[in-house]
Chains A and B, each alone.
Chain A
Amino acid sequence: MKGIQLDLISEDKLDGMTSMEKVRLILDEVRNGKILVLEKGLTPSEQNKLIELTMTEIAPDDFSGIEIESYPVKQNDNFLNKLFGKNTLKTRLTVIGPAAQLKTIKKDRDLISALVSTP
């Protein structure tokens, strides 16, 4: 069967990885033509790293970048986190794929609608 591989990566797996491991995994898999769905999204600084590294890998007629879609981060209402001044932002589900194959049709606060095409 011909098709596009879709990998759903759990929050537990992501929690056990460093920022650089996550970014490297995402770029390697996306460059292999996979679409990734991350149960828990990337932190803002991880998103920055991913954008930077993506830019360094863009090459004409080879790789034009990534399509990434996530819901806006949420404030974490955990009282203890707030009390101790911990970062209270909660990242959310994120979809990432090759820009040439994944195209967002519509996105709002609670829905990401995308079109996936074969290379």
Chain B
Amino acid sequence: MGIIKRLGLNFTWLKRIFKKKRARIGIYGPPNAGKTTLANRILRDWTGDAMGSVSNVPHETRRARRREGVTINSNGSAVTLDIIDTPGLATKIDFHDFMAFGMNEEESKRRAKEATEGVIEAVKWLDELDGIILVMDATEDPYTQVNVTVIGNMEARKLPLLIAANKIDLPNSSPARIHSAFPQHPLVPISALEGQNIDLLYREIAEHFG
């Protein structure tokens, strides 16, 4: 090592070639699909920490949050990821919708403004990722434009995508409906809130993003 140093050879270019880049994975989906609940579940399980607050008011997450170096062990293999919890994607934001949750007009308008900025940030992050966990609410119609747009983006870039069909703890959930809508992508039915099938999700994460 001393000789190498003395000769001024540090081989960083060699390390760069052989060192596997840590995958940067975005958690995407429409507002209220359970993205931050899932991000919190993953971080609590593997780092003991949390990503952010959750709420039943849409657009609770209005800034992308990033956690680096989260190591997930599953089925004897380990994968280390940078995880980005993104604001819910939408094509419309009406401040009146927030007033229905008891917010006053000023507060609702501020939240709407922040939500529009959050959507822009989420769209911009799409260019920076190596893969996506697309969280869908399994109680809702899967053919939303948000789902179609995110899936189209990943398919155009040939990047891996894993669908988390969330909220299977609710009686009217139907992961099968999501699977029939997007059969070309792997899907794991989960409840991020209750932790159902979360080990199965970790196995799929290790397999697809490792």
Known: A52-B120, A60-B112. A65 touches B93 (CB 8 A): yes
Q: A11: shortest Cβ distance to chain B, in Å?
A: 18
Q: Is the CB of B143 within 8 A of A51?
A: no
The answer to whether B153 touches A56 (Cβ under 8 A) is no
Instruction: Give the contacting residue for A70; candidates B89, B148, B156; CB below 8 A.
Output: B148
Which residues of chain B (124-157) have a CB below 8 Å from chain A? 124, 126, 141, 143-145, 148-149, 151-153, 155-156
Is B116 touching A55 in the complex (CB atoms < 8 A)? Answer: yes
Secondary structure at chain A's binding surface: helix, strand, loop or mixed? mixed
Q: How far is the CA of A58 from the CA of B155 in the complex (A)?
A: 29
Q: Check if A47 sits within 8 Å of B92, measured CB to CB.
A: no
B residues with a Cβ closer than 8 A to A are 89-95, 109, 112, 116-117, 119-120, 123-124, 126, 141, 143-145, 148-149, 151-153, 155-156, 181-182
5 further A-B pairs in the complex, CB-CB below 8 A; given A73-B151, A99-B94, A106-B141: A51-B123, A72-B151, A73-B155, A89-B156, A107-B143
In the assembled complex, 25 residue pairs joining A and B whose CB atoms fall closer than 8 Å, in A order, are A43-B152, A44-B149, A44-B156, A47-B153, A48-B123, A51-B119, A52-B119, A52-B123, A54-B91, A55-B93, A58-B92, A58-B93, A60-B112, A65-B92, A66-B91, A68-B145, A72-B181, A72-B182, A73-B152, A99-B94, A107-B143, A107-B144, A108-B143, A108-B181, A109-B143
